[in-house]
A and B are shown apart, each in its own frame.
Chain A
């Protein structure tokens, strides 16, 4: 069997990922999977959705996150660098006063937090923000 250089490099990375258990590579595919499950692979606009997360989180165990996408019927939150990328999905009902919500989430380290909104017309919007997670000084 012959291999192109690209395939060879790709295989090499996959082997390296399997060997070292690189969490980032492992979850990149998972992020893709979670995204596709929500959007069906549709294009996502980059406006009309706001994600507010701290630039630097003092502790990764409890990171405040706020998301808002006026008119959205659902918003999914993903943490791209966590062992499992899905965080939660807000489905807004008829009595919702806005398509906005706040929660507190776990981040396993510095990573990108992604919010994807599903609009009633079947379109999607996304916002991404990198969050750095402070390494504590003292374990207590």
Chain B
């Protein structure tokens, strides 16, 4: 018991102004993001119904970044994430596997996949499971192309996922949480509110109860994933949602789930649904 109280005070101390609640004072809300002067991006909007009592407004992670970081996303030339999209386009048009197919053989141009990012993860009837974009890519490779599948979090996978996100930019995130996906969604919600690690922190501790506040010298966001894959200034590469989840849980000093695990697939569906209504923004630029 003593132990628990001590740990509790550690996690309380993480947030400089935890008691003061949400700290949007030094966040510049109300700015609009238009990519290439032609793709308007919804970065703040009404929360989905199940979050009506939790958030007055949902915000893309873009809102929590500095002007310089925000600006890098306004133009594809300034967004280094687009370098990986270009590598994705090359792979899209390259034949892989024993069937002699490229992605383009079935899907023509990447733009034909514009509706993928907004609606994934989604229920896959044939496999009886919720599938992420990465799982769908692996399914194509193994079941239709006779190809060696990309590693779930490999550079090639992140390039392809960035391409698929990029063609969906501007469309509202709209993942289904009812019907056959409901069970997975519930499992994801359970994880979201479970405290992990020695610091006993849940996703909600940071991203629901303390967004806008500082964690060290950094503003916590609402943890929205509409901008994934994200190009992070930190590692100068595109990063996957599951890799971000893994980093978050590791930072609670917890044992994390694996990239591509059923837990992270469920969590991705749930977290994606918290951003229903925001625009697809990947590859976004974050710190």
Q: Do A and B bind each other?
A: yes
Residue numbers of A with Cβ under 8 A of B are: 54, 56-59, 61-64, 134-140
Other-chain residue from A54, A61, A64, A134 in contact with B236 (beta carbon distance below 8 A): A61
Interface status of B127 (Cβ within 8 A of chain A): no
Q: Is the interface of B mostly helix, strand, loop or mixed?
A: mixed
Docked pose: A92 CA to B247 CA in angstroms = 44
Q: Do A135 and B216 touch across chains, with their CB atoms under 8 A apart?
A: yes
A140/B216 in contact, CB under 8 A: no
Q: Interface residue count for B (Cβ, 8 Å)?
A: 27
**Which B residues lie within 8 Å of A62 (CB)?**
233, 236
Q: Which residues of B, 241-264, contact A by the 8 Å Cβ criterion?
A: 243-244, 247-248, 250-251
Select A54's contact among B68, B243, B250, beta carbons within 8 Å.
B68
> Nearest Cβ distance between residue A52 and chain B, in whole angstroms?
10
Complex interface: chain B residues within 8 A of A137 (CB): 214-220
When distances are taken between beta carbons in the complex, the residues of chain B under 8 Å from A138 are: 215, 218, 247-248, 251
Which of B216, B233, B243, B244 counts the most A-chain CB atoms under 10 A from its CB?
B233
Interface string of B64-85 (1 = CB under 8 A from A): 0111110110000000000000
B154 close to A (CB within 8 Å): no
Where the two chains meet, the residues of B that have a C-beta atom closer than 8 Å to any C-beta of A are: 65-69, 71-72, 214-220, 232-236, 239, 243-244, 247-248, 250-251, 287
Distance (whole angstroms) from the CB of A87 to the closest CB of chain B:
16
Query: Would B215 and A61 count as touching, CB distance under 8 A?
Result: no
The residue of chain A having its C-beta at the shortest distance from the C-beta of B14 within the complex is A137
> Shortest distance in angstroms between B236's beta carbon and chain A's nearest beta carbon?
6
Kindly identify which residue among B66, B68, B216, B250 contacts A136, using a CB–CB cutoff of 8 Å.
B216
Contact partners of B218 in chain A: CB under 8 A:
134-138
User: Given A137-B216, A137-B217, A137-B220: A59 and B251 within 8 A (CB)?
Assistant: no
- Report whether A140 and B68 are in contact in the complex, using a CB–CB cutoff of 8 Å: no
CA distance A29 to B287 in the complex (A): 32
- In the assembled complex, the CB of A95 is this many whole angstroms from the nearest CB of chain B, namely 21
Complex-state Cα separation, A134 to B248, whole angstroms: 19
Docked-complex contact A61 and B247, CB < 8 angstroms: no
Minimum CB distance partner of A132 in chain B = B217
Contact A58 B233 (CB under 8 A): yes
| Those 6 A-B pairs whose CB atoms lie nearest each other, nearest first | A137-B218, A137-B215, A140-B247, A59-B233, A62-B233, A58-B287
A-side contacts of B233, CB under 8 Å: 58-59, 61-62
Q: Which chain A residues lie closer than 8 Å to B67 at the CB level? A: 54
Extra A-B contacts (6), CB below 8 Å, given A54-B67, A59-B233 = A59-B232, A59-B234, A134-B217, A135-B217, A136-B234, A140-B247
- 23 A-B pairs (CB sep. < 8 Å): A57-B68, A58-B66, A58-B69, A58-B233, A58-B287, A59-B234, A61-B233, A61-B236, A62-B233, A64-B68, A64-B72, A134-B217, A134-B218, A135-B217, A136-B218, A137-B215, A137-B216, A137-B218, A137-B220, A138-B247, A139-B234, A139-B250, A140-B239
